[in-house]
Chains A and B, each alone.
Chain A
Amino acid sequence: AQSVTQLGSHVSVSEGALVLLRCNYSSSVPPYLFWYVQYPNQGLQLLLKYTTGATLVKGINGFEAEFKKSETSFHLTKPSAHMSDAAEYFCAVLSGGYNKLIFGAGTRLAVHP
């Protein structure tokens, strides 16, 4: 069965520091991978996705993620954190013969001055 593991339910960084949110997946077939973000009191929205092709994917707000098949990972990074990046981030994998999108438990990112 396909699954997603997000390491660290809470991550705290200083403004201007590197953001690294970890995601590992389990999939018996080449996966489609996604990162969604949920800002406080807002609905979820897509940050970026990997389907095929280039393994380094760029998304909105300066975020990017790299698909590493050998490590079954799809970690999310941003070179310099901004206060407005404080939110909950969800990694997701399209699974089961590409029928349903399975989400990880989420990582809450806090950014402090």
Chain B
Amino acid sequence: GAGVSQSPSNKVTEKGKDVELRCDPISGHTALYWYRQSLGQGLEFLIYFQGNSAPDKSGLPSDRFSAERTGGSVSTLTIQRTQQEDSAVYLCASSLGREEKLFFGSGTQLSVL
């Protein structure tokens, strides 16, 4: 596709359930980021993938959060045993390299009831 694609665009789940959020980056982009955007909180860094290097997971808020990137392309962010405080917009972005322009997806609005 022409841009970064995220699915689903909206996800409503019950507290305690697991969710998976998907990101399809722009073809050829080696860098991929996940951010979380909460009202009034700006963008919170979660995880960064660069090529075949080990991901930078330093932003993941707890061990309930994990992410993988298969084949250097599609990425999945998994949140286990969701909590109400996990409710936010989860944004994925990709770029040609670390210092290059990020292209953002439209995000997944996660609501935990």
Binding site for B on A (CB under 8 A): 6, 9, 32, 36, 43-46, 49, 51, 90, 92, 94, 96, 98-106
Chain B hits for A51, CB < 8 A: 99
> Does any Cβ of A come within 8 Å of B59's Cβ?
yes
Interface size on B, residues (CB 8 A): 23
Whole-angstrom distance from the CB of A36 to the nearest CB of chain B?
8
Please count the residue pairs between chain A and chain B whose beta carbons lie under 8 angstroms apart in the complex: 55
Chain B hits for A103, CB < 8 A: 35, 42-45
Listed A/B pairs (13) with beta-carbon separation below 8 Å: A6-B42, A9-B40, A36-B102, A43-B104, A46-B101, A49-B101, A90-B42, A90-B43, A100-B33, A103-B43, A105-B41, A106-B42, A106-B43
Chain B hits for A6, CB < 8 A: 42
Q: Would B102 and A46 count as touching, CB distance under 8 A?
A: yes
Q: Would A100 and B99 count as touching, CB distance under 8 A?
A: no
Whole-angstrom distance from the CB of B69 to the nearest CB of chain A?
15
> Which 4 pairs, one residue from A and one from B, show the smallest C-beta to C-beta distance?
A105-B42, A103-B43, A44-B104, A43-B104
> Does any Cβ of A come within 8 Å of B105's Cβ?
yes
A9-B40, A90-B43 are contacts. A99–B50 as well, Cβ < 8 Å? yes
Binding site for A on B (CB under 8 A): 33, 35, 40-45, 48, 50, 56, 58-59, 91, 93, 98-99, 101-102, 104-107
Main secondary structure of the interface of A (DSSP, over half): strand
Task: Choose one: B58, B104, B107; the contact of A100 (CB below 8 Å).
Answer: B58
Whole-angstrom distance from the CB of B99 to the nearest CB of chain A?
5
Q: Would A100 and B41 count as touching, CB distance under 8 A?
A: no
Chain A hits for B56, CB < 8 A: 96, 99-100
Chain B hits for A94, CB < 8 A: 98-99
Whole-angstrom distance from the CB of B26 to the nearest CB of chain A?
13
Chain A hits for B50, CB < 8 A: 99
Chain B hits for A101, CB < 8 A: 33, 45, 98, 102
Question: Once the chains are docked, how many angstroms separate the CA of A32 from the CA of B98?
Answer: 10
- CB-nearest residue of chain B to A100: B48
Chain A hits for B35, CB < 8 A: 103
